[in-house]
Structure 1
Amino acid sequence: MIAAIATLLLCQLLGEGIHLLTGLPLPGAVIGMFLLLGWLLLRPGERPTLVQVSAWLTAHLSVMFVPAAVGLIEEGPVLAKNGVAIVLATLVSTLLTMVVTALVFHWALTRAERKA
């Protein structure tokens, strides 16, 4: 179990390091997630401890949002100034994502039906 946690933390750390060194416009956590994906693809096989650790983290995901909520509270003046624009951008992007997802699903379903 410790090895699985260490693997996740190592990928996170490497992702943060790559972000700082290269200045990529991706968060270090996302880069670390891609590194973990690459490692899992290069070394296929079952990893029951990694599954256990990730299941536990997913089950307790709400605890992970506490630091984000504190960060939002600290950004009160920025939110007061730009809050409406942020909410509007979030709503528009969410609706756009839902529409594009539905269109792609419809296209894929139509294509699959034509092949069948």
Structure 2
Amino acid sequence: MFDALALLLVCQLLGEVIHRLAHVPLPGAILGLLLLLLWLGLVRKERPKLGAVTGWLTAHITILFVPATVGLIDEGSVLTRYGIGIAVATIISSLLTMLVTVAVFRWALRFSSLPDERWEEEL
């Protein structure tokens, strides 16, 4: 289990190093995922071990939110000053994202081989 966790961390680290040294316009985390994907394509024996580790991490994902929550508590003065604005901006941007996603989906649906009526029936 430790070697699979180390593989995840090494891929993350290498992705960050590539991002910072080569100035690649992708985040280091994405580069790390691409490196992990390449590794898993080349070394297939790692898959079961990695599956166990990722299952454990997913089951305990709430632990990963503790540092962010503590960081929010430290920024109490900023939140009392700008909290309502941040909440309103978050709600509006979330609604706009949903509306744009629906619009793009409907636009893409027009160009697919499946007509709208038939698509709705299958849902």
TM-score by length of 1: 0.73
Other-structure match for 1:112: 113
Cα distance in structure 2, aligned partners of 1:88 and 1:79: 13
Unaligned 5+ segments in structure 1 are: none
Deviations 1:4-53 (A, max 9, x none): 1111111222344445556778764455334434544x537471111221
Aligned to 1:70: 70
What CA distance in whole angstroms lies between the structure 2 residues aligned with 1:45 and 1:112?
36
Match of 2:42 in 1: 43
3-state SS in 2 of match to 1:113: coil
The equivalent of 2:120 in structure 1 is none
AA of the residue aligned to 2:114: E
Alpha-carbon distance in 2 for matches of 1:56, 1:21: 32
Report the alpha carbon displacement of residue 107 of structure 1 after superposing the two structures with TM: 2.4
CA RMSD of aligned residues (A): 2.9
Q: 2:85: which partner in 1? A: 85
TM-score normalized with structure 2 length: 0.70
Amino acid at match of 1:51: G
Aligned mates of 1:79, 1:26 — CA distance in 2: 30
